[in-house]
Structure 1
């Protein structure tokens, strides 16, 4: 029995390493964009008055780029803590939907592994992991969710984000207005790439389109970050109505 278990572990290790390597390679196309807007965030943070060490502490523990940009934009002395917390919650509310989509595929994992998957979930790692899960499910591979692939892509994106924000904090005081270099365009560009990679036609994209339309409308009419919650709720409602048996 012991020999059989050892042999099983020895066979599983190369497969895991192969999947991790596949995840790293899969994340490389978006890594450049992550590094670009990580540099912008780190530079803006120290220019707003954050200490060099506070930047990696924030980006490594919160790990949500959109809300971190919002927090830095609102930063003052003293900082409006309640406002920053509220805006962070509103912007990160999309992760509720993203986590709910992944949950059926990671339900079989031990709790600590499932929680780790959700902690290291960013827009990029979620899109890569979910697309790979759908592909594996379509070809009959079991389990559909490859933990090794996810570890590879999520790990390299996390390290890229942490490293680039730290580097941005180090060189930010010497750069001046970092937006003048155009790095901030990487943020919307990577989202366009994600959407293009998951595009399956207008019918399948109806929840996205409704979510976009509602978010834009609320953004124009209501101050604050309520457009994030409104867009998320509209997309969820549309998806639910389409999936509901008639």
Structure 2
């Protein structure tokens, strides 16, 4: 039990720097949601059950009266499709867990908790750990980030009508800033970054030329193709 407690504490400590940014853009999302017409309780219901910031920002941006539900569902699926790849990367390290525990782990997986736990898992694997994935560490970082996200979006929903245009305060920059930090933490040199660059260019061009959220699929597919080509034996 003491070992589990220490790992949970370590996970909480590792997540604190990321949590500050999560809280910032969680406040933005909650405020924007109520300003778009969502009821107060609908905001934590959405952010706690869907739990995917990118798709939630997209859904709020598309929200109208009446809401285009099919479009929102389609865009949510496209943006959240990256979690299929993230889950596939993590699955080999959690296959020793009972199925229900593995499903709980995957539910609480976000971009931030995935990056933190995956980096920690790789470090433990290189150090020769028999089970590289630390469930306690994951509970600490994923639980902290989830509660921070749920709490900040709820608080944003409560104070949103009083704040006006929250983007004027610059909080919206916290969302891309977190992804830049995640990418920087996974940097392994220019050669390994080629798929990232290909994905970025294709996603940007698709966003400019094709309406909707197809830039997510195009960027993902292009990055995967570039990674596959780079890994092919010459």
Q: TM-score band (shorter)?
A: over 0.9
Please, which of 157, 167, 174 is the counterpart of residue 186 of structure 1?
A: 174
1:13-61, Cα deviation, whole Å (9 max, x unpaired): 1111111100000000110100000000000111111110110000000
Query: For the residues of structure 1 that align with 2:191 and 2:227, how far apart are their CA atoms?
Result: 11
Which residue of structure 2 aligns with residue 65 of structure 1?
A: 53
Which residue of structure 2 aligns with residue 48 of structure 1?
A: 36
Which residue of structure 1 aligns with residue 84 of structure 2?
A: 96
Instruction: Determine if the alignment matches structure 1 residue 195 to structure 2 residue 179.
Output: no
Which residue of structure 2 aligns with residue 37 of structure 1?
A: 25
TM-aligned CA deviation for residue 207 of structure 1: 1.8
1:95-149, Cα deviation, whole Å (9 max, x unpaired): 1111111111111111111111111111100110111011111111121111110
Query: For the residues of structure 2 that align with 1:107 and 1:204, how far apart are their CA atoms?
Result: 27
Query: For the residues of structure 2 that align with 1:107 and 1:208, how far apart are their CA atoms?
Result: 28
1:44-100, Cα deviation, whole Å (9 max, x unpaired): 111111110110000000000010011011111111000000010111111111111
Which residue of structure 1 aligns with residue 163 of structure 2?
A: 175
TM-aligned CA deviation for residue 244 of structure 1: 4.0
Equivalent residues in 2 for 1:146-185, closer than 5 Å = 146-185=134-173
Over 6 Å off, 4+ runs: none
Query: For the residues of structure 1 that align with 2:52 and 2:233, how far apart are their CA atoms?
Result: 35
Query: For the residues of structure 1 that align with 2:142 and 2:69, how far apart are their CA atoms?
Result: 29
Query: For the residues of structure 2 that align with 1:228 and 1:67, how far apart are their CA atoms?
Result: 11
Bigger mean CA offset, 30-39 vs 196-205: 196-205
In our comparison, the structure showing a higher alpha carbon Rg is 1
Which residue of structure 2 aligns with residue 125 of structure 1?
A: 113
Q: Which runs of 5+ in 1 are unaligned?
A: 1-12
Which residue of structure 2 aligns with residue 231 of structure 1?
A: 219
Q: TM-score, normalised by structure 1?
A: 0.93
**Count of residue correspondences:** 234
Which residue of structure 2 aligns with residue 10 of structure 1?
A: none
Q: TM-score, normalised by structure 2?
A: 0.97
